[in-house]
Structure 1
Amino acid sequence: MTTESLPALNDARLSIDERIATLTLDRHDVRNALTGTGLIEDIVTAAGWVNRCQEVSVLVITGAGSAFSAGGNVKDMAERGGDFAGDVAEVAERYRRGIQRIPLALEGVEVPIIAAVNGAAIGAGFDLANMADIRIASDRAKFGETFLNLGIIPGDGGAWYLQRLIGYQRAFELTLSGRVIDAEEARDYGIVLEVVEHDALMTRVGELAAGIAAQPPKATRLTKRLMKQGSRLELKDFLDLCATFQGMCHNEPEHLEAVNRMLEKMAR
């Protein structure tokens, strides 16, 4: 049992084990499309729960079935239905109240996020993977910023993430070409950290997550916050934040516990 009960989700599954929370997108019938399903709400709900539950040190996001996420529901686009119905103002408002809640929610997650990319991550599904701190890919994974192929733009914030991840020029080429790349090319570009055999994906992600989860939990959350702020603050402001966070860490029991463990190892 956790101090914060697991939330009820509609189209995803959430579990926790050894301080690792795993969110599995579970609409494999539509290749885990984010629109036209309950997955947007599920992701936002899970993000809020992770922040409240102090027993979580890592969040893993993966997909059930053959795809990580196919992004938007193309059938709804063709029919001008669902999230894509209405005039300019109506569509814009649905984006703000819908899929754009995902980057805002995940950007605010206090623990490290690992995307276990089990298959195709296309369009908004690619962007979802890029919202994680680390991406580990199955050798079956495919990635594509394919919005322009459909005559639309990355309306979920994907252009913001991709250029920060791999630089403007490469992000520009992938976005404007709309081409789909395999896991090896994604690793070469720095989109994913590692590529592993499909059947070994969750084992490898579990090992990585366990290593992070073994670190002092409060300092881990502060370090995640610090890393996020590092690209946004001027050096002087950043150092001020470092000083404050360090003062907090030095006054936490977990700091002395970690120091004592280190001293014990040194004495052996």
Structure 2
Amino acid sequence: MTWNKLSVTEDNGIVTVALNRPEKLNALDMEMFTELDAVSKQLRKRKDIRAVILTGNGGTFSSGLDIKSVAAKKSKILSLLAKVLPGNANLAQRVSRNWRLIPVPVIAVIEGRCYGGGLQIVMGADLRIAAHDAELSIMEIRWGLVPDMGGLLALREVMSKDVAMQLTLTGDIISAQDALEYGMVTEVSENPMETALSICRKIAKASPDAIAAIKYTTNRCWVSSARALLARETICQIRLLLGRNFSIAAKRQRTKTDIDYQKRQSFW
């Protein structure tokens, strides 16, 4: 597929997806929404990739929703927000939620502005590495809107309700260091892309099945009952023990050699 508003590159199983509308500070228009939805669905199906990096070209992640473009026609708003059932994710929500469904780690690299819809997208990532000069904001209130892209699902996992409420009600722009203290970002780095790549390379040395199982169980343990979590852990462990990559991992440990893992099994 040809991408017009994204750039997608791959190196040794690490896929980098970059918002590519730098002349507009990577503001989110309908085409970018559609392409983010499509690429995330494609990556979910691939068993040969080991990690995904999500970033923005031009020194900024995203200035948020391109209101002028999206609101130009009511049909665009309908396409963005329509859903068959209330509990399903619409297009706007999928560009955040879909990253959580990919069975490899997704790391967001945040530089420059990360406002509104841009912040909602990075909250769908597993890790968020921010540059020292990055700025973040839950900015929807300034447009008289509510955050509606699914990013609040992640906010409830990383920060207290009162802090989330304050940031959402005020639309304040916060620094990367403040975001780190609040739990919105994982790490602040002088070179966030190199930090993300270093993490990806380390993860790529492990069993792809174990990585998928860890992401699956960890994402669910924050919102599951204890009984559901215990059952899910056991099911995942049985699948791992019966899988071919467990045998490879054990042999790697015994022989201290870097035997190649096989592709991730289909049930993850």
Question: TM-score over 0.5 for the alignment?
Answer: yes
What is the 5 A alignment of 1:75-90?
A: 75-76=68-69, 80-82=71-73, 85=74
**Take 2:184 and 2:64, find their aligned partners in 1: how far apart are those partners?**
17
Which structure 2 residues correspond to residues 173-192 of structure 1 after superposition, within 5 A? Answer: 173-192=166-185
Q: Which amino acid is 1:217 matched to?
A: P
Counterpart code for 1:149: R
- Offset at 1:92? 5.2
- For residue 185 of structure 2, give the secondary structure of its aligned residue in structure 1: coil
Structure 2 residue aligned with 1:211: 202
Is the 8 Å Cα contact of residues 14 and 23 (structure 1) preserved in structure 2? yes
Unpaired runs of 5+ residues, structure 2, are 83-89, 257-268
Structure 2: how far apart are the matches of 1:262 and 1:24? 36
Matched, 1:94 2:80: yes
In 1, the alpha carbon distance for the partners of 2:43 and 2:69 equals: 31
Find the counterpart in structure 2 of residue 26 from structure 1: 20
Counterparts of 1:260 and 1:76, CA distance in 2? 55
* 1:125 and 2:118 aligned: yes
SS of 1:99's equivalent in the other structure is helix
Q: CA deviation at 1:23?
A: 0.3
Supply the distance in 2 between the matched residues of 1:217 and 1:98 (Cα, whole angstroms): 29
Counterpart amino acid of residue 72 in structure 1: L
Deviation string for 1:84-111 (max 9, x for gaps)? x37xxx8455323532231342232221
User: CA separation in 2, counterparts of 1:247 and 1:151?
Assistant: 49
Q: Which moved more, 1:169-178 or 1:100-109?
A: 100-109
- Give the structure 2 partner of residue 252 of structure 1: 243
Q: Structure 1 residues 191, 29: closer, same or farther in 2, change over 3 A? A: same
Superposition pairs of residues 141-220 of structure 1, within 5 angstroms: 141-197=134-190, 200-220=191-211
CA RMSD of aligned residues (A): 2.0
Give secondary structure in 1 for the equivalent of 2:213.
helix
Instruction: Give the residue type in structure 2 aligned to 1:94.
Output: L
Distance of aligned partners of 1:256 and 1:160 in 2 relative to their CA distance in 1, 3 Å threshold: closer
Partner of 1:52: 45
Distance in 2, Cα, partners of 1:242 & 1:159: 25
Q: How many corresponding residue pairs?
A: 250
Secondary structure of 1:152's aligned partner: coil
**Cα-to-partner distance string for 1:101-130 (whole Å, 9 max, x where unaligned):** 313422322211100112210001011111
What is the SS of the residue equivalent to 1:114?
strand
Deviation at 1:48, TM superposition (A): 1.5
> Which is worse superposed, 64-73 or 253-262?
253-262
TM-score, with length taken from structure 2: 0.86
CA contact (8 A) 1:35 1:99 kept: no
Secondary structure at 2:192's aligned position in 1?
A: helix
Secondary structure, aligned partner of 2:61? strand
Letter paired with 2:126: D
Which TM-score applies when normalising by structure 1?
0.86
SS at match of 2:103: coil
Helix, strand or coil at the partner of 2:29: coil
What residue in structure 1 maps to residue 261 of structure 2? none
1:70 — aligned with what? 63
Question: How far, CA to CA, are the matches of 2:168 and 2:232 in structure 1?
Answer: 35
Match of 1:242, SS state, is: helix
8 Å Cα contact 1:95/1:155 also seen in 2: no
User: What are the ranges of 5 or more consecutive residues in structure 1 without an aligned counterpart?
Assistant: 1-6
Q: 1:239 to 1:227 in 2, by over 3 A?
A: same
Match of 1:110 among 103, 124, 137: 103
1:16 lines up with 2:28 in the alignment? no
Q: Which runs of 4+ in 1 moved over 4 A?
A: none
Q: Which letter does structure 2 place at the counterpart of 1:55? A: D
